[in-house]
Amino acid sequence: MDFRKDTLLSLPFKLIEVFFRNLSSSRLTVLLTSAFTLFSIFFLFAQEADVQAGKKLFNANCASCHKLNKKAVGPALKGVSAKYDREWLYSWIKNSSAMIKDGDPQAIAVWEEYNKVAMNAFPMLSNADIDNILAYSDYTPPAPVAVASNQQPASSSGTSNDLILVALTLVFIILVVMLFLVQKTLKRIAFASGVDISPTVKEKRPPLWQVVAKNHFLIFLLVVGFLLSSAYFVYGFLMQVGIDQGYMPVQPIHYSHKIHAGANQIECKYCHSSARVSKHSGIPSLNVCMNCHKNIAEYNGEEDIENGYTKEFYTKEIKKLYDAVGWDEDNQAYTGNIKPVKWVRIHNLPDFVYFNHAQHVQVGDIECQTCHGPVEEMEVMYQYSSLTMGWCINCHRETNVKVKDNEYYAKIHEELSKKYGVEKLTVAQMGGLECGKCHY
Amino acid sequence: MSSKKVYWKSVAQLDKGNELVKKLEQNEFIDQIPVDDFLGDEHTMSQSKTNRRDFLKYVGFSTAAASLASCEGPVIKSVPYVVQPEQIIPGIANYYATAIADGFDFRSILIKTREGRPIKVENNKDASILGDANARVHASVLSMYDIKRLQVPKAKGQDITWSDFYSQVGAKIKAMAVSEKPIVLITQTFASPTTQNIIEKFIAQFPNVSHVVYDTLSSSHALDAFENVYGVRALADYDFSKAETIVSIGADLLGDWQGGGYDSNYAKRRVPKEQNGKSEMSYHIQFESNMTLSGANADNRIPTDPDSQKKIIAQIYSQLTGRTSSLSELNPQLKKVVDNSVLRLKKSKSKAVIVSGIDDVAVQEVVLAINEYLGSDAMDTAQPKFIRQGSKKAVNQLIDDMQKGKVKGLITAGVNPSFTLPNSEIFNTAYSKLEFSLAFALKEDETATAAQFVAATPHYLESWGDYQFKKGHYALAQPTIRPLFDTQQFQDVLLKLSGSTNTYYNEIKSNWTEKNILKENSWNKTLHDGCFSTGDVIESNGVSFDLGHQIKTLSKASSGDMSLVLYPKTGMGDGQQANNPWLQEFPDPISRVSWDNYLTVSAIDAKRIGLKNVNVSDGALNGSYANVTVAGKSIVAPVLIQPGQAKGTVGMAFGYGQRRGLQEEMQVGVNAFPFYNDFNSVQEVKITPADGYHEFACVQLHNTLMGRGDIIKETTLEIFNTKDKEYWNPIPKVSKNHMEYEVTSPEVDMWQSFDRSVGHHFNLSIDLNSCTGCGACVIACHAENNVPVVGKQEIRKSRDMHWLRIDRYYSSGESFGDDNQTKEDISGLGDSLTTFGEMEKASENPQVAFQPVMCQHCNHAPCETVCPVAATSHGRQGQNHMAYNRCIGTRYCANNCPYKVRRFNWFLYNKNDEFDYHMNNDLGRMVLNPDVVVRSRGVMEKCSMCIQMTQKAILDAKLEGRQIKDGDFKCACSDACSSGAMVFGDVNDKSSIVSGLKEDERMYHLLESVGTKPNVMYQTKVRNTDETLK
């Protein structure tokens, strides 16, 4: 299903939502508890192998192939220190291929188990470093203390609106019933005490509509007013036909630009690489996703529980990717069983418009956000700009052509700027308003 | 003074009194809209239940409903690659070098692909030979997306899998090998060294198999002659750029004579070039029966019947060498020309060349002898061509054997003998009786339908291949797309059947590297370039001629009073691509008829026999039918009166009349193959009139230039050399305040001009001297710009959509003004009869000029000022823009265009069952260029000067941060033009070729007097009518 969300309408609700979210104490609690745990961990293990240092080293050197609890490219690291001799581990980590060459039986066994892919050598790690890493891999964090209490306010705030609504409705119904009863009682009392409650007949004045109907000038004004206002609305309606600003379709995989471009700061053109050279920005092929997601099998970032964007939710979406690209997580291998993803196209220019991404992004050095909006904040991607011709033209009128260090412009810029008597040329002055530049 | 020659497009135009011509000059649409017929019909009007009010209600309601329905946009899905191939970036075109070798066309080409789809054919400019695609090769990319292609192999008409195919066919062949039953493998010419190896291996495996090469249109006589003289079965190659004097006797050297591909070299010498203080160009004399491209381009064209041609060649030989005498005399007129030719040949000596297309071994031997005698530089026998290999003797023998039951099995590959053999009925009977028949076919053609087994083969764009087009000149073909259907290449199937596990690709690669074709050169680089050449020459042990006897026979040649000269049409060739709508709609360069073949008859013969061409009320052409009888076989064919057709001859094109494997729309024309007896293109014929008229889709009387003259400027080489430009290429003058100004002068200009000195300013130059009229540009334009195909009926209504048309003008000896005067002076019936007779004579052998006309991109464009919605406007770079989305279809622009180059979309031509061509199916739409919008109904369209290509060149330069070089700017037409007639570029770049051409003395603009200041220019045609030798 696709739907177009009216951003204007939803804006006030969103504001309220954000306000409430900030008020809730849940985040603060999380922060406090985590600070506390970290502190206690630090305190407990400071003397022995340093878990924190180990975590750092692990993330820097090992995480691309190993996970703690799960098999990745290499084996899960939890418990390796118990499984193997410490000295063996030192030499294995420092240079495993040498051991395989030397014919160490244990080393060969591991090598064969993992498709004969030798582990990278890490000669720069000292024995102490390795100890730290192993300490981190063996470390089990104490169960979070305040998790249970965290859940409460979050869930109650979700239902409170409904409850209030139901309660209010009830109160209104009761009020109506009460009013009715009071009136009935009063009527009965009036009847009993002999008070005449029938309304007094006033002198008949002509009704308002008759007065208006007789005043021709007023009618004229009203008709003109009516026509003008309806024309305004009709015009407004017609002008938005075919404009899909705010179009936010549901995609087959919930891909969050907020997480990728926002939280992880991935450069837009890393995935949309063809924007640099081609007219299309290109929807990245799934092998591009797998560059990172080969190792990132589960989501461990921030959650947005109110909207249901939990860690499990995101992890499930990553599994959808694996399913599409045919990645067998357990064996860390491609099955070849692919299901291409049918994304819903958001930005649809009509056929008769030629738009070139490279021209804008690479030659013009325009930020993607200029047209696509704050993508790094978009949980669900939507069409930010109207993409109308007026919108294009406006930008062409206002934007200066980036001519620096581009030899193509050297001559034409010099000549044109002399002709127009300006320092910098806008796209329009370069001929960017000509029909045939975009329509052919 | 410029030449006062007046051009005309049709015989009817010569008749100034013709009401129709007059009407057409003033009015593009000759019929009035039949409003009265409709509204005046009281009875029907009163019977109708829908009154005016109801009608308006319906209209209102449907309009409202339609607008409401359009408010909701459709949901568009985008499916990216799962694993994107490294080389493919959506939106960026990839080019692959490959080669076509379909048995008729052999060319090295480049293929432009977008997102993995081949969409256009381009010339391979690196190729040492045959690197220029002709119209058919340009169109061949569409033939890949043919819905009529075979998609799976078949056995007895049923679809089967390849594994079943191999087990059944393999078993059959093995069984027949054991019982020694002869099987014949009959194939097209492959000119492929590796294919030759594979066939040899196959024959070694199955000794009961023999190989016969069959060319649909045979060059067997020329091959025999060459083999007799030089000992190698090949064709002499010619380089006409080395020839000062070209004598052609019945050879359409600019057409498909001996495989074609000679036009680019020919054109090089056709442009006058400064040499020793005066301009020189080659001199071309053509003796021929049909009006061909070569005849149209020749300086001196002599219509002669085939018998005279033989006599002429004997005369030339004997006069030149003085070896034989006592030949029968030619008629004085011809003798004069022959003497002149001999004189020229003698004078030019090694810079002269003579060629002939007559299917006669003796003639071909004489031609070789003359060229050897002259020591012609233009003829190359050391590196001959291998692109025709067929032997008529072997094919005739095969059919004889089949008839006698000697042959038990037949494998056909790349040929369709059931249709193309002259004696196909004999073949078909014998074929159906064979024990085993296997056809390798692209489509379910006549042979494939009758075959027991059909192996579906891929299109050449899906195939591997290696070729030796010419001794020492190799080409490689590579797939440009994964096979669309479940097809396998002929070579792969043969390999598998002979028990090899190797693929054809591996065979090619090992053959090239192990056999040392490549020597030290890299395979990858060769594959990238698509071509490779070595200095290898054939070994020949001395040349000697003993032609006395042959010359005597030739000089006595005589046959019946009418001869039929069969020829391949520029658009259709041998008819392999008959299901290609681009080629069907391609107007023949000479006759300007599309969607048909016909019998070309000279006006005199037509009158004698009683055949007519008439133009009906809307200007469309109708031709009467005639019974054509050759050796007892008779068909009814429509007649086209062809100016320049030699008296006593008629012509007919091959390639039409097919019914199998073709969409219904393409089943047009008549089949000329049954007349191709003994593979001789000249046949004795009897013509009698038949009943009825045929409706031609001819673009002849349409889009007339409204009777305005000076459209083609031409002069002679002598005048060009001796007189000033003002004499032969004057700019028209106008008077202002009793002063004469040139029309281009700003003094008489009422327009405010843009300043075009900054940035790019595109101009296109068209040289009328080097334009041979081949039509490659027309198809290239179709492919690049998504030009729709409209079909025969629409063409007939002059609704053709070609953005680029090649006008062909015939000229008469005297000026049109004189003709008019003569006609005015007629008094009485007797006088009129004789005068009209004389006027007819003018068209007997007209001179011809080709003029490609597209939107002229006027700087002062008349179309722009009349558009009520500003849908057409001018760009600073000189292009006249057309915003389709803005156009409301008033057609004011088309009415105001003096060049008649705007085309109106009368209908929706895509996804419309009424126009069931390639744009109506998913497969055919794959050929569309994604950078150009497909126009909808009700909008005007026209040439955009390939703005998508100029914009792309600019963007690439910007991306790379560099200046644009000359040659970066291209149009589809200029890029396709191998003769160099079309040159496109930026005139503000003073170093560009086109800016030089703009200053050329020969430069003029079309209808300069109108003052439109076009950005397309033409170079005056110069004819080499050197009087001194005449």
Contact B933 A411 (CB under 8 A): no
Q: What is the pLDDT of residue A150?
A: 44
Cβ-based neighbour number of residue A334 at 10 Å: 17
Kindly state the greatest CA–CA separation across chain B: 99
Strand partners, B285: B247, B300
What is residue B29's predicted lDDT score, i.e. its pLDDT? 60
Same domain, A284 and A302: yes
Q: Which residues of B touch A348 (CB under 8 A)?
A: 73, 76
- In this structure, is residue A20 part of a structural domain? no
State the alpha helices, DSSP H only, in A308-424. Answer: 311-325, 357-358, 368-372, 389-398, 407-420
What's residue B705's pLDDT? 35
pLDDT at A9: 43
**A439/B883 touch (CB, cutoff 8 Å), yes or no:** yes
The single residue listed with the structure tokens 């074929």 is: B431
Which residue of B87, B958, B988, B989 is the best one to mutate when testing the A interface, meaning the one whose CB has the most A CBs within 10 A? B958
- What residues of A are in contact with residue B76 (Cβ under 8 Å)? 344-345, 348
Candidates B70, B75, B78, B79: best to mutate against A (most CBs of A within 10 A) is B78
Q: Test B961 with A407 for CB contact under 8 angstroms.
A: yes
Higher-scoring residue by pLDDT: A39, B778:
B778
Residue A402 pLDDT: 87
Indicate which of A289, A412, A440 best probes the interface with B, i.e. most B CBs within 10 Å of its own CB.
A440
A8 within some domain: no
Whether the CB of A373 is below 8 Å from some CB of chain B: the reply is no
* Residues above pLDDT 90, as percent of chain B: 61
CB A268 within 8 A of CB A378: no
| Residue A407, domain extent | 392-440
3-class secondary structure, B279: strand
The CATH number of the structural domain formed by B7-13+704-824+845-1023 is 3.30.70.20
Asked if residues B140 and B153 have their Cβ atoms less than 8 Å apart, the reply is no
What's the pLDDT tens digit per position in B252-288? Answer: 999 999 988 998 999 999 999 888 778 889 999 999 9
CB nearest to A408's CB, from B79, B951, B961: B961
* Average pLDDT estimate for B935-960: 93
Q: How confident is the model at residue A45 (pLDDT cuts 50, 70, 90)?
A: very low
Separation CA B942–CA B883 (nearest Å): 11
Question: CB-CB: which of A344, A354, A362 is closest to B75?
Answer: A344
Give start and end residues of each alpha helix (H) in B243-286. Answer: 263-268
The pLDDT of residue B824 is 54
Q: What chain A residue is nearest to B71 in terms of C-alpha separation?
A: A241
Q: Is residue A218 part of a domain?
A: yes
Q: B-contacting residues of A 50-69, CB under 8 Å? A: none
* B970 neighbors B946 (Cβ within 8 angstroms): yes
Q: What DSSP line would sit under B768-782, residue for residue?
A: TTT-----HHHHHHH
Whose CA is closest to B363, among B491, B608, B554, B123? B554
Scanning A226-255 for CB atoms below 8 A from B yields 241-242, 244, 249
In order of B225, B314, B366, B544, B765, the CA distances from B548 in angstroms are: 15, 10, 10, 12, 50
Q: Which residue among A350, A409, A440 sits closest to B947, beta carbon to beta carbon?
A: A440
Half-sphere exposure of B43 (CA within 13 A, CB side): 1
* A/B interface, count of CB pairs below 8 Å: 155
Residues A289 and A369 in one domain: yes
CA distances from B142 to B236, B388, B461, B976 (A): 32, 25, 10, 16
Same domain, A95 and A166: no
Nearest-CB residue to B79 (from A342, A350, A354): A342
Handedness of CA A73, A77, A83, A88 (dihedral sign): positive
A435: nearest CB among B73, B883, B963: B883
Interchain contact, B882 vs A436, CB within 8 Å? yes
* A261 and A285, same domain (yes or no): yes
CB pairs under 8 A, 24+ apart, for A122-130?
Answer: A122/A61, A122/A93, A122/A94, A123/A94, A123/A95, A125/A57, A125/A61, A125/A93, A125/A94, A127/A90, A128/A49, A129/A53, A129/A57, A130/A89, A130/A90, A130/A93
The residue to which tokens 């406006």 are assigned: A394
CA angle B470, B472, B476 (to 5 degrees): 75
Of the two residues B768 and A150, the one the predictor is more confident about is B768
Residue A29 lies in a domain: no
Q: According to the model, what pLDDT value does residue A31 have?
A: 47
A409/B84 Cβ within 8 A: no
Copy the structure tokens of residue B204: 């070694």
Tens digits of residue pLDDT in B442-459? 999 999 999 999 999 999
Q: Chain A contacts of B959, Cβ < 8 Å?
A: 277, 358, 362-363
Q: Which residue(s) pair with B715 in the sheet?
A: B1022
Chain A hits for B882, Cβ within 8 Å: 435-436, 439-440
Measured between beta carbons, the chain B residues lying within 8 angstroms of A415 are 757-759
> Which of B781, B959, B962, B963 is the best mutation test for A, with the most CBs of A within 10 A?
B959
Residue A11, pLDDT above cutoff 70: no
- For A352, the closest of B71, B885, B963 (CB atoms) is B885
Shortest alpha-carbon distance between residue B568 and chain A (Å):
37
Residues 6+ away with beta carbon under 8 Å from A86: none
Q: Calculate the average pLDDT of chain B.
A: 87
Structure tokens at B118: 């081949």
Tell me the two tokens of residue B294. 């070569």
- Greatest extent of chain A over all pairs of C-alpha atoms, in Å: 118
| Residue A199 is assigned to a structural domain of this protein | no
Best B71, B72, B81 member to test A by mutation, with max A CBs in 10 Å, is B81
Interface of A with B in 170-229 (CB under 8 A): none
Using alpha carbons only, what angle is made at residue A79 by residues A73 and A85, rounded to the nearest 5 degrees? 100
* Predicted pLDDT at B654: 93
CA distance B313 to B357: 11
CATH architecture of the region B231-385? 3-Layer(aba) Sandwich (3.40)
Regarding whether A225 and A174 lie in a shared domain, the answer is no
Instruction: Write out chain B residues lying below 8 Å of A406, CB-based.
Output: 958, 961
CB–CB contact A241 B948 (8 Å): no
Six-digit token string for B343: 């004189």
The pLDDT-based confidence of B828 (bands split at 50, 70, 90) is low
| A13 touches B at CB < 8 Å | no
Does some domain include residue A24? no
Q: How is residue B852 written in tokens? A: 């490609």
Residues B802-821: tens digit of each pLDDT: 999 998 888 665 433 344 44
Residue A16 has pLDDT above 50, yes or no: no
**In 3-state terms, what secondary structure has residue B664?**
helix
Interface of A with B in 326-365 (CB under 8 A): 326, 338, 340-345, 348, 350-352, 354, 356, 358-359, 362-363
Q: Looking at the predicted structure, is the pLDDT value of residue B375 above 80?
A: yes
Q: Which of B77, B933, B964 shows the shortest C-beta gap to A352?
A: B933
- For the residues of B325-379, what is the DSSP string, one character each? --PPPPPHHHHHHHHHHHHHHHHHGGGEEEEE--S-HHHHHHHHHHHHHHT-SSE
A4 touches chain B (CB under 8 A): no
Tokens at residue A350, please?
Answer: 């009509």
Instruction: Point out the residue among A280, A325, A434 whose CB comes nearest to the CB of B82.
Output: A325
| pLDDT on residue B1023 | 86
Q: How confident is the model at residue A241 (pLDDT cuts 50, 70, 90)?
A: confident
Residue A76 has pLDDT above 70, yes or no: yes
Bigger pLDDT: B1018 vs B561: B1018
Report the gap between the CA of A406 and the closest CA in chain B (Å). 5
Domain count, chain A: 5
Query: CA of B712, closest CA in chain A: separation in Å?
Result: 30
> Do B928 and B145 contact (CB within 8 A), yes or no?
no
Same domain, A403 and A335: no
End-to-end CA distance of chain B: 23
> Are A416 and B73 an interchain contact pair (Cβ–Cβ within 8 Å)?
no
Instruction: Please report the pLDDT score of residue A47 as a whole number.
Output: 44
Indicate if A277 and A317 belong to the same structural domain: yes
The answer to the question of residue A207 being in a domain is no
- Which of B887, B834, B828 has its CA nearest to residue B863? B887
Nearest CA in chain B to A429: B876
- Considering just the CA atoms, what is the radius of gyration of chain A in Å? 34
Identify residue A6 by its one-letter amino acid code: D
Query: If you measure CA to CA, which chain B residue comes closest to A243?
Result: B73
DSSP classification of residue B715: E
pLDDT per position as a tens digit, B397-438: 999 999 999 999 999 999 999 999 999 999 999 999 999 999
Residue A389 has pLDDT above 60, yes or no: yes
The structure tokens 């799934």 sit at A286
Q: Are residues A301 and A376 both part of a single domain?
A: yes
Task: Tell me what ipTM this predicted complex has.
Answer: 0.82
- A343 and B77 within 8 Å at the Cβ level: the answer is yes
Is the same domain home to A227 and A295? no
Q: How many CB atoms lie within 10 A of CB A98?
A: 14
Least trusted range by pLDDT, from A143-157, B344-358, B849-863: A143-157
List chain B domain ranges: 7-13+704-824+845-1023, 231-385, 570-698
Do B81 and A340 lie within an 8 Å CB cutoff? Answer: yes
Q: What is the pLDDT of residues B972-1023, one digit of tens each?
A: 999 999 999 999 999 998 999 999 999 999 999 998 888 889 999 999 888 8
- CB of A282 within 8 Å of a chain B CB? The answer is yes
A253, pLDDT greater than 70: yes
Q: Are residues A387 and A404 in the same domain?
A: no
Residues A133 and A229 reside in one and the same domain: no
- Is B80 within 8 Å of A362 when comparing Cβ atoms? no
What pLDDT was estimated at residue A93? 85
- Can you tell me the distance from the alpha carbon of B955 to that of B960, in angstroms, rounded to the nearest whole number? 8
Nearest residue in A to B80, CA atom: A285
Helices (H) and strands (E) in chain A — how many of each?
19, 3
Q: Name the one residue in this structure whose structure tokens are 């039409």.
A: B656
Domain B570-698, CATH 3.40.720.10 — does that match? no
Query: Strand B1016-1019's sheet: what is its strand order?
Result: B982-986, B762-767, B1016-1019, B1003-1004
